[in-house]
Amino acid sequence: MTALFDWLAQILGILAAVLAAPLFLGWVNQCRAWLQNKSAPSILQPYRGIRKLFHKDAVIAANASQLFRLAPYMVFGAMVTAAAIIPSVATRLPFTQAADAIALVGLFATARVFVSLAAMDVGTAFGTLGARREMMIGFLAEPALLMIIFVASLISATTALPRISELLATQSLALYPSLAFTAVAFTMVLLAENARIPIDNPATHLELTMIHEALLLEYSARHLALMEWAAALKLFNYVCIGFALFVPWGLATSQAPLALALSSLFLGAKLVLAGAGIALIETVSAKLRVFRAPEFLATAFLFAVLGLLVRLLLGT
Amino acid sequence: MTQTLHSPLLLCLLLLTAWGIVGLAGLIRPASVAFAGRTLFPLGAVCGAAVAYVAATSLFAPAEQIVLSIGLPDLPVHLRLDSLSSAFLFLLGAAATGISIFAAGYFRRGEGTPPGLMCLQYHLFLASMGFVLLANDAYSFMLAWETMALSSYFLVTTQHRIPEIRSAGFLYLLIAHIGAIAILLSFGVMQGGSWQFTFDAMRAAQLDPAWATSAFLLALFGFGAKAGLVPMHVWLPEAHPAAPSPVSALMSGVMLKTALYGMLRVTFDLLGEPVWWWGLILLALGLFSALYGVIFAAAQTDMKRLLAYSSIENIGILFSGVGLAIVFAGTGMRIAASLALIAVLYHALNHAFMKSLLFLGTGAVLHATGERNLGRLGGLIHRMPWVAWLTLVGALAIAGLPPLNGFVSEWLLLQSFLFASEVPQAFVNMLLPLGAALLVLAAALAGYVMVKFFGVIFLGQPREAALQEAHDAGIAERAGLAWLAVGCVLLGLLPAQVIALLSRVIQPLGFSGLPLDDGSWWLLVPLPQRQISYAPLVFFAVILVVIVLTIAAVRFFYHQRVRRSDPWDCGFGRLNSRMQDTAEGFGQPIRHLFTPFFAMARELPSAFDPAPRYRVVIGDRIWRGLYLPLGRLVRRIADAVAWLQQGRISTYLLYSFVTLVTLLALML
């Protein structure tokens, strides 16, 4: 019976994450519009966009291969898998032990490689340009991400996200300076990996400044909808990883329905704050040139190393 | 009689001899492609599968050894099969099976060396690699080692009419021999005054630390040269691409692993307890090689050179893992050392499958198009779907992406890096995590390289009109590729089973193996006390289910209409295939970011040039900074002593006489 309930909770959790992801994106966009003194689109705008795209006829380049059509499903599948694994609401669900933090990074890398390969498939200048920039951001971000995981694992002696969260959540409010440094690093990686300002501008379609848009240039209709949905889900997933590593308070460590409901409320509140925070960062910073991206991510790496040294030298 | 036939060692011996006989049979009809291809290579593949099977079963048997009194008098051949040898024999057999199946359909008429002779060289190469793994004394080890070097040299120079290939072969032979001398000297140190050159005597010898260190350093130089560790790597990107593709696959996939085997054998078995700081040397060299290899791979425009540099990267990863194991073992952290060693063995196995797969894939492309230059390929996924999709498996695997196999070993290695903070030495425990970051950087760059490799060859539009006539690979070639691809997938999806077997492998080296949790077969829990787990099957299943559900849902709720049209051209209207990124273009961010690594010469055309030419030549700083001065030095010394060569027989007789007198004086 408990096993059945576990699985039910797991599947509900996945569905909730998949359905809530565009809402979170809508919230970020709304906040950003407010901060920039514009009239904001509805918070439901991402859903409308996805719905509209699903209704359209798919137009595919004449020389696109099967890989091009497979990639959106693959990327969406990878993001849903990640959503199943990340302990966003509860730490003891069945799938949470399928991967630790490093394997999650690997899963995101799989999605990235498929997006890039699909972008190269049609063989236009923009697609390959986007692919190479996306892969560049990827290899710059991954070492920083690993250092972040390293620091978290030094505190809890494991790289399993649910165990890290449990340890931090159940302790009486202990402050780790090392985690503060790594949280900064993680925020920078999150912005870079999700094509936000200052690495990429999600609001433009100006070809020469973009990474994410260049990758999706050839996609239309349902394929584009899946890609956009997957991107929203990726942002959601990253934010949830951030919560699990740095602010796990309120996570349910049991499967009692009440605990899960309470934990969902906590998650909602944290998402509202995080969305506003991302919007604020995007409002106060300017987009960097592509070749300044390495400096940005090297800074993130150094912050993570600083966290590591603080942890090793001071033990805090 | 039935007893002896159940001895895995004798069976292995029999199978290796069978490889030799299959090779010799090639001489019956040396000019016949059909005889070698349809009969001998498939036979060799069967032997390979049998070797893999016997090696796998012998993991469960105790180590055994025999002494064969063949060869020179008083120098019998000692052979021994323990689980470390078994693991590498399995690697050899399993990879050779796929490669031989592919080779059965690969060789065509008119490729330099006649097919029958090449068949002999090929199978001699296989058998000698097997004997390297079985040898239990320095004499037979060196004999097999040199046979391996020589037979592969002849295979590299198959197309010996091309001067570049001859010089690549010469460089390979030269460095192989300098390395072999170092290995010989290392054995000389390890016998420790007993003058017994059996490995048993070396195990028993008690060396004082200085001698043990010198033996280790000599072995590192010798095996490092064979493995292509930077800075001894210069031969690798020349020799591997020069060879025919199945041979490149064998060299990169299998032969480099014999060097790893030698390193493990010497460090953990013959020398006994390694000293912890040896590991730091290996770690530094390994990580540098990994980064160096992958950065150069990203800048290559020749698809086989790109793969050769990627081999340097993977060798770097393997040796850094060995270094980590030495650091842990030397500081008494047995569990961490076991984990690192298992990661190394796992990665060796993975690399054998994925690199062979990729090299064979380039072979198929080379046959179909006659082109190795990435700048003249493109769009082949339409013309060669089999090769493209099977190669994609290898590319994703080597990029270290879950749920395929490359990820598992890198994950294990990173997990063992996490033990670094427990190393008692101050500063070392802070530097090691940075090593892990370098490793991740190399792994992530490998992803970049593989996107470039696969994307430029198989995706996009064909860059040359002739590519429209490219044909897919034949049945045998497809089967060989599929064998290796299935290996990659299985090694990726069943890590718990593989690790349970590899735990047996490291036991003779004095490690207890990992405290594996046998609870669930689909979940890998390498270290229960760390509560880490990884379940690639869940990845696979969930992704698959989501894909199927999404496709079904899209079809049910919406429609499946698809319209084909031209790619979007931004209103320009004259897009052509030359406007895609070239291989140079794809490598440009790497050249920009890692400028200090390259010795680069560029010709940038001016904007008003009527016939603009863009040229970039990427050189290796180590070649210019180390090898060319060394070569000049050797030449100068040779010139200086050349006056000894007078060309008169009386002078030479005088030399002999003086030598004899000196020796006599010394002896008396």
Q: How many CB atoms lie within 10 A of CB B657?
A: 10
What value does the mean pLDDT take over residues B553-558? 82
User: Is B539 in contact with A217 (Cβ distance < 8 A)?
Assistant: no
Among A58, A80, A128, whose Cβ lies nearest the Cβ of B561?
A: A58
Residue A136, min C-alpha distance to chain B (Å): 7
Partners of residue B437 in chain A, C-beta under 8 Å:
143, 146-147, 301, 305
Partners of residue B577 in chain A, C-beta under 8 Å:
123
Residue A124, min C-alpha distance to chain B (Å): 5
Q: Does A21 touch chain B (CB under 8 A)?
A: no
The interface residues of chain B toward chain A in range 424-463, judged by CB-CB distance below 8 A, are: 429-430, 433-434, 436-438, 440-441, 443-445, 447-448, 450-452, 454-456, 459-461
Q: Does A303 touch chain B (CB under 8 A)?
A: no
The interface residues of chain A toward chain B in range 203-222, judged by CB-CB distance below 8 A, are: 207, 217-218, 222
pLDDT over 90 at B585, yes or no: no
Position B2 scores a pLDDT of: 46
Q: Is the dihedral of CA B565, B571, B573, B575 positive or negative?
A: negative
Are the C-beta atoms of B131 and B119 separated by less than 8 Å?
no
- Cis before B8? omega within 30: no
Which residues, including other chains, have CB under 8 Å from residue B35's CB and lie 6 or more apart?
B26, B28, B29, B115, B116
Partners of residue B460 in chain A, C-beta under 8 Å:
120-123, 128
Among B415, B535, B589, whose Cβ lies nearest the Cβ of A98?
A: B535
What value does the mean pLDDT take over residues B90-94? 94
Position B180 scores a pLDDT of: 94
Residue B498, min C-alpha distance to chain A (Å): 18
pLDDT over 60 at B496, yes or no: yes
Q: Does A193 touch chain B (CB under 8 A)?
A: no
Q: Assign B564 to helix, strand or coil.
A: strand
User: Is B444 in contact with A77 (Cβ distance < 8 A)?
Assistant: no
Higher pLDDT, A37 or B37: A37
Per-residue model confidence as pLDDT tens for chain A (316 residues) = 577 777 888 888 888 899 999 999 999 999 999 998 888 889 999 999 999 988 888 889 888 889 998 999 999 999 999 998 888 887 777 787 788 888 889 999 999 999 999 998 988 888 888 888 889 998 899 899 988 988 888 888 888 888 888 888 777 666 788 888 999 999 999 999 988 888 888 777 665 667 888 888 888 888 999 999 999 999 999 999 999 888 888 777 777 788 888 888 888 999 999 999 999 998 898 888 888 888 999 999 999 989 888 888 877 6
Partners of residue A19 in chain B, C-beta under 8 Å:
none
| Overall number of domains in chain B | 1
Q: Are strands B64-68 and B77-81 parallel, antiparallel or unpaired?
A: antiparallel
Spell out the alpha helix ranges (H) of A42-124.
45-55, 66-85, 101-121
Q: Does A84 touch chain B (CB under 8 A)?
A: yes
Partners of residue A81 in chain B, C-beta under 8 Å:
538-539, 542-543, 546
pLDDT band at B319 (very low <50, low <70, confident <90, very high): very high
d(CA B649, CA A223): 84
d(CA B197, CA B184): 10
Helix (H) or strand (E) holding B565: strand B562-565
Quick one: tokens of B335?
A: 């569990």
Position B111 scores a pLDDT of: 61
**Pick among B422, B464, B532 to test the A interface (most A CBs inside 10 A):** B532
Position B177 scores a pLDDT of: 92
Instruction: Report if residue B145 sits inside a domain.
Output: no
Higher pLDDT, B111 or B128: B128
Q: Assign A44 to helix, strand or coil.
A: coil
User: Is B401 in contact with A113 (Cβ distance < 8 A)?
Assistant: yes
Of the CA atoms within 13 Å of residue B199, those in its CB half-sphere come to: 27
Number of A:B CB contacts under 8 A? 237
Quote the DSSP letter at residue B524: B
Are the C-beta atoms of B388 and B377 separated by less than 8 Å?
no
Instruction: Report if residue B634 sits inside a domain.
Output: yes
What value does the mean pLDDT take over residues B409-424? 88
Position B668 scores a pLDDT of: 76
Instruction: Report if residue B235 sits inside a domain.
Output: no
ipTM, 2 decimals?
A: 0.92
Domain enclosing residue B624, as ranges: 594-667
**Pick among A135, A208, A219, A306 to test the B interface (most B CBs inside 10 A):** A135
The interface residues of chain A toward chain B in range 249-288, judged by CB-CB distance below 8 A, are: none
The interface residues of chain B toward chain A in range 326-345, judged by CB-CB distance below 8 A, are: none
Position B518 scores a pLDDT of: 61
Are the C-beta atoms of A134 and A215 separated by less than 8 Å?
yes
pLDDT over 80 at B358, yes or no: yes
Q: How many residues does chain A have?
A: 316
Quick one: tokens of B186?
A: 């290392």
Residue B581, min C-alpha distance to chain A (Å): 6
Position B95 scores a pLDDT of: 94
Position A173 scores a pLDDT of: 60
Among A95, A133, A142, whose Cβ lies nearest the Cβ of B440?
A: A142
pLDDT band at B179 (very low <50, low <70, confident <90, very high): very high
Among A78, A102, A123, whose Cβ lies nearest the Cβ of B379?
A: A123
Distance set, CA B58 to CA A102, B6, B52, B55, B419 (Å):
34, 10, 10, 5, 32
Quick one: tokens of B660?
A: 């004899």
Nearest to A201 by CA among A109, A92, A283, A266: A283
Quick one: tokens of B360?
A: 């064979």
B258-282 per-position pLDDT tens digit = 999 999 999 988 888 888 899 999 9
What value does the mean pLDDT take over residues B213-228? 93
Instruction: Report if residue B637 sits inside a domain.
Output: yes
pLDDT over 90 at B33, yes or no: no
Q: Assign B77 to helix, strand or coil.
A: strand
pLDDT over 90 at B90, yes or no: yes
Position B54 scores a pLDDT of: 92
Largest CA distance in chain B: 100
Cβ-based burial of B402 (10 A; exposed 0-12, middle 13-18, buried ≥19): buried
CA-nearest residue to B449 within chain A is A135
User: Is A107 in contact with B396 (Cβ distance < 8 A)?
Assistant: no
Q: Assign B500 to helix, strand or coil.
A: helix
B466-487 per-position pLDDT tens digit = 878 888 878 888 999 999 999 9
pLDDT over 50 at B1, yes or no: no
Higher pLDDT, B111 or B556: B556
Which has the minimum average pLDDT: B308-312, B448-452, B504-508?
Answer: B504-508
Instruction: Report if residue B227 sits inside a domain.
Output: no
Are the C-beta atoms of B221 and B185 separated by less than 8 Å?
no
Partners of residue A135 in chain B, C-beta under 8 Å:
447-448, 451
User: Is A58 in contact with B400 (Cβ distance < 8 A)?
Assistant: no
Partners of residue B418 in chain A, C-beta under 8 Å:
150, 153, 159
Among A107, A125, A132, whose Cβ lies nearest the Cβ of B402?
A: A107
Instruction: Report if residue B372 sits inside a domain.
Output: no
